Chain A
């Protein structure tokens, strides 16, 4: 089976979407052929389009941007719809990484992807909304089933099976195994460290330019 892993994060380094695809890729290491695509612009090259056309499954992973799909990736989806690729037996899956704690906040971004499948003529598989994605790319590797990523890894494992079986299922939503108040505190501490590293103060985070 040929599976395209499509990273829709605009980030070059340390993207949570990339980290989630790496976790997924482990399940495909031996049996399947993997095509990896990075989408960091508003258009896909002809070469990428040709590669995608030969896949049996597309797995899009992207960050939740303003409750939806990042604009540059949305432009690429429109391009794929316009291109009318020959292979319409492609089954599409989605992983949405959400900076908020609740994975369910990715519900409508997955719905857009699902609606796109209908318009573009592809088969919708299913998707997962991952909450608490803000720290995923920085989390240390732990034993399988251990640590804050455990429920996310479990959901990724189930998704991998669904992709290999070419199944269409309901979307699922998962959050990092870490108390919400601690996740909130951790994020806020992180913003303060980052603004100080850029020469600002914690107070500057709330500036109101006019």
Chain B
């Protein structure tokens, strides 16, 4: 399954195969750092606003596709809040991976991560930051980066088939 997390409310890109789209539908609450998703309802966020199941969805996906406006080399606040609320995808225990501390797997699936960033004036430094962060995300998910793309406008994205 392809899991798409996007900040585009009117998302209309073509997608091949089974997929789920998480996009702005009502206000999202931000992560409050309570760790309830690890110690109260393991695997699921304790905030009930419609965005609490992303960790579970990530456990079912083979591809995570992020489509986001680029903010200083980061994903947008909406996409980041979805990601922050989905740390339940991983287990709280630590492992050492590539010589660094990361979290242990909760699920067995290996995620391949792609990102499609859009925005005018994305600098080369921001692009490098975005690529580095995606690599770091993949390390923490114990997955891999498939591809990272940059577009100046949302319209440029319209021909993309996910």
Contacts and interface: CB of A to CB of B under 8 A. Distances in A.
Interface in A184-202: 184, 187-188, 191, 194-195, 197-198, 200
Contacts of A194: 35, 39
Given A112-B72, A184-B94, A66 B40 contact: no
A180 interface: yes
Contacts, number: 150
Main SS of chain B's interface residues? mixed
Given A111-B132, A115-B129, A100 B77 contact: no
Interface in B37-85: 38-44, 56, 59-60, 71-78, 80-84
Interface residues of A, number: 50
Interface in B6-60: 30-33, 35, 38-44, 56, 59-60
Nearest to A206: B91
Contacts of A71: 30-31, 77-78, 80-84
A87 interface: no
Interface of B: 30-33, 35, 38-44, 56, 59-60, 71-78, 80-84, 87, 91-94, 96, 100-102, 106-107, 123, 125-126, 129, 132-133, 136-137, 140
29 contacts: A9-B33, A10-B30, A10-B31, A15-B33, A40-B32, A63-B33, A68-B80, A71-B30, A77-B71, A77-B72, A78-B71, A78-B77, A100-B101, A108-B132, A111-B132, A115-B73, A115-B129, A116-B71, A118-B123, A118-B125, A180-B96, A187-B92, A187-B93, A187-B94, A194-B39, A200-B39, A205-B38, A206-B91, A209-B56
Interface of A: 9-11, 15, 40-42, 63, 65-72, 74-75, 77-78, 100-102, 105, 107-108, 111-113, 115-116, 118-119, 180, 184, 187-188, 191, 194-195, 197-198, 200, 204-210
